[in-house]
Amino acid sequence: MARDDPYVPDIPVPKNRPVPPPPGRLRRIVRWLWRGFLLFLIGSVAWVGIYRFVPPPVTFTMLANAMDGRGIAKSWMGIGRIDPAMARAAISAEDSGFCAHHGFDFGAMEAAIARNAQARRIRGGSTISQQTAKNVFLWQGRSYVRKAFEAWFTVLIELLWGKRRIMEVYLNVIETGIGTYGVNAGALRYFHHDASRLSATEAARIAAILPLPKKRAAIDPSGYTRRYGNRIAAREGVVARDALDRCIRTG
DSSP string, 69-108: T---EE----TTTS-HHHHHHHHHHH-TTTTTSSS--HHH
Residues 40 and 64 in one domain: no
For residue 41, is pLDDT > 60? yes
Asked, for residue 14, whether it belongs to a domain, the answer is no
Asked, for residue 18, whether it belongs to a domain, the answer is no
Q: Give tens-digit pLDDT for 43-55.
A: 999 999 999 999 9
Residues 114 and 222 in one domain: yes
Residues 173 and 104 in one domain: yes
For the chain, how many structural domains are there in total?
2
Asked, for residue 12, whether it belongs to a domain, the answer is no
- Domain span holding position 27: 23-54
Q: Which residues, 6+ apart, have CB-to-CB distance to 98 below 8 Å?
A: 91, 127, 128, 129, 163, 167, 244, 245, 247
Q: Which residues, 6+ apart, have CB-to-CB distance to 92 below 8 Å?
A: 204, 207, 232, 235, 236, 238, 239
DSSP letter assigned to residue 247: G
Residues 107 and 142 in one domain: yes
pLDDT of amino acid 125: 74
What is the CATH classification number for the domain harbouring 223? 1.10.3810.10
Average pLDDT of the chain, as a whole number: 87
Asked, for residue 118, whether it belongs to a domain, the answer is yes
For residue 203, is pLDDT > 90? yes
Asked, for residue 75, whether it belongs to a domain, the answer is yes
Q: Closest Cα partner for 174 from 148, 201, 140, 135?
A: 135
Asked, for residue 238, whether it belongs to a domain, the answer is yes
Residues 76 and 34 in one domain: no
Asked, for residue 95, whether it belongs to a domain, the answer is yes
Q: Give tens-digit pLDDT for 170-193.
A: 999 999 999 999 999 999 999 999
Residues 193 and 137 in one domain: yes
| Position with higher pLDDT, 113 vs 132 | 132
For residue 65, is pLDDT > 60? yes
